[in-house]
Amino acid sequence: MIKTQIELTERCIEILAIPPEKECLILDIGCGSCLSGSVLSEHNHTWIGLDISKPMLNIGRENSVEGDLLNIDIGQGFAFRPGTFDYAISVSAIQWLCVAEKKKDNPLKRLKNFFSSLYKCLVIGARCAFQFYPDNPQQIELITKSAIESGFTGGVVVDFPHSTKKKNTFFSCKLDILRKVLMKLLKMFLKLKMMKMKMMLLIIFNKEEKEKEKSIMKVFIKVGIGF
């Protein structure tokens, strides 16, 4: 089991294709007892690990791993500053987002929470490599669709597809740079629009009451807000 986890982590690192000597911060999703984190440390990468299980994280702490560890249910989303991480990996974890363990669990919503949170905390052009064990083709489609809708591009990589024992499934993706840039431009545009509207409202604030209503309507029309 330990050997398998180490090999899968090495494969994720290979998929990421991190340039030699590059200093980077990696998010380890579903880090468990931090076997994957230890491999990242061996490659001289700085990392932060997330896992839903406190007992598993405690094992990592007892082994004095180098990464910071956070007890988080990734299906509920997570919050880091925008552009915090250069890469993200996951070994044997994201398939659980496709499972409704409780009545209130909605796999589609949990996947959306996960990928939208991940999208926000990655740098532009960041790459991700997630190894997982899908129960059926529908789960692969669900994961892929959720990632694309959240702003990622990528697809599934299957190692040894015809082997029962060696077969492993990976989801390799990266941020859609164009979408990220367009979203930033849209936010700037909307901010400038609101500033323009506020300035125009201040100008007409001292007008006579009868003129105020007409003037306010003109402001909304100029900034593109209709009724």
Name the 3-class secondary structure at 65.
coil
C-alpha span between 31 and 36 (Å, rounded): 6
pLDDT score recorded for residue 79: 92
C-alpha pair distances (Å), 158 with each of 135, 162, 167? 14, 10, 7
More confident residue, 34 or 187: 34
pLDDT digits (tens, 9 = 90+) for 148-189: 999 899 999 999 999 988 999 999 999 876 666 666 667 777
More confident residue, 176 or 60: 60
C-alpha span between 155 and 133 (Å, rounded): 15
Name the 3-class secondary structure at 130.
strand
Name the 3-class secondary structure at 94.
helix
Burial class (CB in 10 A: 0-12, 13-18, 19+), 23: exposed
pLDDT score recorded for residue 100: 80
Give CA angle at 195 (178, 117), nearest 5°.
40
C-alpha span between 191 and 198 (Å, rounded): 11
pLDDT score recorded for residue 97: 96
Give CA angle at 26 (185, 34), nearest 5°.
145
Find the largest Cα–Cα distance for the chain: 81
Could you tell me the pTM of the whole model? 0.78
Token digits of residue 84: 């915090």
pLDDT score recorded for residue 132: 97
Contact present, 28 and 37 (Cβ < 8 Å) = yes
Average pLDDT over the chain reads: 86
More confident residue, 198 or 164: 164
Contact present, 127 and 173 (Cβ < 8 Å) = yes
Contact present, 34 and 49 (Cβ < 8 Å) = yes
Pick the range with the lowest mean pLDDT from 59-73, 98-112, 122-136.
Answer: 98-112
pLDDT at residue 213 is higher than 70: no
